Structure 1
Amino acid sequence: MLVGYARTSTLEQDAGLEAQVRDLKTLRCEKLFSEQVSSVAPRKALDAAVEFCREGDTLVVTKLDRLARSVTHLGTIITALETKGVALRIVNLGVDTATPTGRLMLNVLGGVAQFEREIMLERQREGIAKAKGEGAYKGRKPTARAKAAEIAALAAEGLSMAAIATRLGIGKGSVHRALNPKPADAAQ
């Protein structure tokens, strides 16, 4: 049986998720799992897909980055699948771990992808350091501080921190910090 898995990082990427699901249906995946969650967050649909697969099945994804966040994570997924006798197919790479060549290619491509990500992060850190040195980098504008009055007003109305965070589109931790400022925060 072909089992499909589709993922996008955010809820704003509906078209990307729909395209993956469409492609997986075109490939005749009999069972589909999909979710919209960051690669670093717990991925319940991925866990469910791996759990669902049985010996002889193939887990199908459209792209490698929809499946794993690192070579280590990819290795964990492959190990779980191999233990169950399940192959992995990555459509855009033409890789299928049902073959020895497919397994080799997946390991090589996973290493290259991780290397590429690490180089990108290194360049990003270097760019930020240079901009800071030139006084051009200020970082992200603090959104919660700008909404401190709104946060206090909503808290006075009796809304919970989670409800305030949802309404204002900020994190619950930001609401907590705005309602319980440290002495250093209050001075800013």
Structure 2
Amino acid sequence: MKVKYVRVSSLEQNTARQEKNESEFDRVFVDKISGAISFFERPQGKKIVESVKQGKITEVHVSSIDRLGRDIIDVLTVCDFLTTNQINLFVENIGMYSLIDNKKNSAFTMVTSVLANVSSMERENMLERQRQGIEAAKLRGVYRGRLYGSRMTTEEFLNKYKKVATELKNGESLRRAAALGGVSLGVAQRVKQAMLEQN
């Protein structure tokens, strides 16, 4: 089965551009979710993973590599999962397949690694600009932060990011735990701090 994976970050965003060639596929999987969330934790991402494990999928197409994720580790983990299962991944905007004659395409690996790294850097830059905007708003006295009483307890916070906490307990690095949990490195650091406070 030849399928396409489509992702947009929010419910309001239109998927038409990514779905323009949907008639070429046996099925199109659409996630409306942040790219920071691990592919393996997304509703449609999970369905693809399950279909791959059941041997139902032979080829996966995406419009661009950042549809798989905004974190380089997550993107490479998805690529490795598909390659290991002999699933050919095609990235439309670069016109490349991950496998050639059922063998790993080294050029694809190199190009997608660079693109995934750029995507990851773009996201970090966006978060940094957001932090700077908040700081500037605080200096002007117009930033109000969280609503009064909305602050989570340590237990609630750790429960919200249970996957990250589990990975850290299992000895994973902050960066790896963040990727597996589909969160930013900053959130993983706060999870680790919360774990220390709880102990």
- The answer to whether the superposition gives a TM-score over 0.5 is yes
Match of 1:112 among 108, 113, 118: 118
Is 2:79 the partner of 1:73?
A: no
Alignment identity in percent? 32
CA distance in 2: counterparts of 1:2 and 1:10, whole angstroms: 26
Q: Using a 3 Å threshold, how does the CA distance of structure 1 residues 123 and 36 change in structure 2: closer, same or farther?
A: closer
User: What per-residue deviation string (whole Å, max 9, x for no partner) do you get for residues 56-96 of structure 1?
Assistant: 92210112232213111112211211110112212123332
Which gives a bigger RCO, structure 1 or 2 (Cα 8 Å, sep 6+)? 2
Partner SS, residue 21 of structure 2: helix
Is 2:27 the partner of 1:31?
A: yes
* Partner residue in 2 for 1:46: 45
* Partner residue in 1 for 2:133: 127
CA distance in 1: counterparts of 2:121 and 2:139, whole angstroms: 27
Aligned length: 140
How many angstroms does 1:116 deviate by? 1.6
Q: How does 1:1-188 map to 2 (within 5 A)?
A: 1-13=1-13, 16-25=14-23, 28-39=24-35, 40=37, 42-53=41-52, 54=55, 57-98=58-99, 99-139=105-145, 142=147
The TM-score normalised by the length of structure 1 is: 0.62
Q: Using a 3 Å threshold, how does the CA distance of structure 1 residues 119 and 35 change in structure 2: closer, same or farther?
A: closer
Partner SS, residue 33 of structure 1: strand
* Higher relative helix content: 1
The TM-score normalised by the length of structure 2 is: 0.59
CA distance in 2: counterparts of 1:139 and 1:121, whole angstroms: 16
For structure 2, which runs of at least 5 residues remain unmatched after alignment? Answer: 100-104, 151-199
For structure 1, which runs of at least 5 residues remain unmatched after alignment? Answer: 146-188
